[in-house]
Amino acid sequence: MAFTLTLIKGPEVAGWARNMGEVLDALNPLVDNIPAVWEQFLDEFSAQFQDFQKEGRAQQKLENLQIRFPDIDRYISQFKELACQANHT
């Protein structure tokens, strides 16, 4: 977690990274469950920085996607990627 925090840079994330670093500094590795700390870090990171509109944007792009000859392979790859991002099975 400490190494990961050193890679997170920029003014937009500085406060969050500092707060997470303070949490890390307060832990006792002999007592605290380190794998659980990592899982908690991942949950916090996802909640803070996840793109919640990605699925909707992918759905919109999927609806507007048109096949253009002779780029059939490109259409198929874009369709698969957008379908996956839009959470279609």
> Are 8 and 36 in the same domain?
yes
> Are 28 and 13 in the same domain?
yes
> Are 9 and 45 in the same domain?
yes
Domains: count for the chain: 2
pLDDT tens for the chain, residues 1 to 89: 889 999 989 999 999 999 999 988 888 878 887 888 889 999 999 888 888 898 999 999 999 999 988 999 999 999 999 999 998 87
> Are 42 and 58 in the same domain?
no
Cα end-to-end span (Å), the chain: 33
What Cα–Cα distance (Å) separates residue 14 from each residue in 1, 8, 10, 31? 15, 8, 6, 28
Full residue range of the structural domain in which residue 14 is found: 2-49
> Are 73 and 36 in the same domain?
no
Beta-carbon contacts of 52 under 8 Å, excluding residues fewer than 6 positions away, are none
- pTM for this entry: 0.55
